[in-house]
Structure 1
Amino acid sequence: MPTTRGDGGSSNPSAGTSAVTAPRKAKSADSATRRRLIEATARLMRDEGYAAATSRRVAAEAGVKQALVYYYFPTMDDLFVEVLRAGADTALERMRAALTDDDPLNALWEINSDARVTSLNTEFMALANHRKAIRAELKAYAERVRDIETAAVTVALRANGVDLDEYPPVAISMLIAQTARSLCNENAVGVTSGHDQLRAFAERQLSRLAIPPEPQRRTR
């Protein structure tokens, strides 16, 4: 005959399972809400500029109550930092992949030609002029990106026997990134004069510095 617990607890083994899974579900819901707020902020910044990303607009875009913004992020700076970190993680993964790409130089050109990423970075640059927390985070991210881009360019130039003193990898990586981003920024405001010619010129130069294809083995 089953005994009854003195504390009034149930002898049903499933009761313990429910107690364990409930916090897990709550944690999962918390993560989903945080992600929605971060994604909503990024969309507003890309589409309308960082000034549009107020707690009220972010909440409306994410489909939650405004109070939840400050529940998950004590200040808007905290939210902006998380948006920057989320974008940085994705961008750094793409940058690292460029190190093993068949054509690292072209890979970097394509990455920096992504208008969505460039527009968000531009907003963070503007925001960093007014927020110290953003400035420090952006500086750390930019330095990591430059290190990875320089490494990718170094791999490509060495493989092609290019003189690294004549063509410093960090200088080449900066020319690639800054030129591509400049084209994106100008295009965003409708300035396209000379873009086709500059892209064609850049692509010709990159092809000259690219890793040469492996020689095909002769079959006997």
Structure 2
Amino acid sequence: MTGASAKPARRMATRRSATHDALLDAVEAIMHEEGYAALTSRRVALRAGINQQTLYYYFATMDALLLAAYRRRTGAMRARVEAALAQERPLHALWACFSDPFDAALTMEYLALANHNEAVRGETVAFGEQLRALQVAAPALSGLLPPDAPAHPLGLVMALTWVAHLMGFEATLGLRGGHQEATALAQWALGRVEP
């Protein structure tokens, strides 16, 4: 486009700031307390203590804001998984990493959002594959099972992850039946693989 009909490019914030981080924090707080469906630009701005127009100074669209919040969360989760894999007993550390009820509730909300948001879905798949590749390549996991074991350590990691996430999510709902037994079974299995 040329001439008077061309719109000037909208000025956007280019670097992270306290306001930028407050917006990402607001997204997660609303998701945790009320679910992803409660996210609107107005509610996020109010929660962050800014006006709605300022939100759009930092993020051109709500999708861009949601994606930024999700990327921050997956970056933090990747750092936690890498730290767990560096521990002397990585499976025990991964169990602790994935069994936090607060994290489980947010994970479930992001998964629900991914079901309806193509950009977040793409990020979810890419992040999941990155985590699995990281775990497959982790030297700490390679020698956990005997060479004749019928499974790869990744299968054990995934099973523990799923159980930990599900228990964390149930705990946020107030459902705790069977959790002590499942934890005891997980601890027993972990103790056999990682004494």
Superposition TM-score, scaled by structure 2 size = 0.86
For residues 111 and 150 of structure 1, what CA distance do their matches in structure 2 show?
A: 17
Q: Does 1:51 align with 2:30?
A: no
- Matched residue, 1:137: 123
Match of 2:63 among 77, 99, 103: 77
- Hey, what does 1:86 align to over in structure 2? 72
Equivalent residue for 1:196, pick from 172, 180, 195: 180
* Alpha-carbon distance, 1:27 to partner: 7.0
- Equivalent residue number for residue 108 of structure 2: 122
What is the count of residue pairs matched by the alignment?
183
User: 1:171 aligns to what SS in structure 2?
Assistant: helix
**Radius of gyration: which is bigger?**
1
Mapping for residues 163-174 of structure 1, pairs under 5 Å = 163=147, 165-174=149-158
SS in 1 for 2:175: coil
Maintained 8 Å contact 1:162/1:209:
no
State whether residues 78 and 131 of structure 2, in contact with CA within 8 Å, keep that contact through their aligned partners in structure 1.
yes
Whether contact under 8 Å (1:73, 1:79) holds in the other structure is yes
Q: Deviations over 1:29-69 (max 9, x none)?
A: x6221111011111111111111121111111100001111
Identity in percent:
37
Do the aligned partners of 1:55 and 1:69 also contact (CA within 8 Å) in 2?
A: yes
| Structure 2 unpaired stretches of 5+ | 1-12
Tell me how large the CA RMSD over aligned residues is.
Answer: 1.9
Per-residue Cα deviation, 1:198-219 (whole angstroms, up to 9, x for no partner) = 1001100011001x5xxxxxxx
Specify the alignment match of 2:140 in structure 1: 155
Q: Which of 73, 78, 95 pairs up with 1:109?
A: 95
- Segments of 5+ residues of structure 1 without an aligned counterpart are 1-25, 213-220
Structure 1 residue 74, shift from structure 2 partner? 1.2
Q: CA deviation at 1:164?
A: 6.2
Q: What is the aligned partner in structure 1 of residue 3 from structure 2?
A: none
Dislocated runs of 4+, deviation >4 Å: none
Aligned-residue offset at 1:148: 2.5
Aligned 8 A contact 1:59 1:65 in 2: yes
Q: Is the 8 A contact 2:31 2:106 kept in 1?
A: yes
Aligned twin of 1:183: 167
AA aligned opposite 1:205: A
- Which of structures 1 and 2 has the larger relative contact order (alpha carbons within 8 angstroms, sep 6+)? 2
Query: Could you tell me how far apart the structure 1 residues matched to 2:82 and 2:127 are?
Result: 14
SS at match of 1:51: helix
Give the TM-score, by structure 1 length.
Answer: 0.77
Q: Return the letter of the residue paired with 2:172.
A: A
Aligned mates of 1:162, 1:75 — CA distance in 2: 51
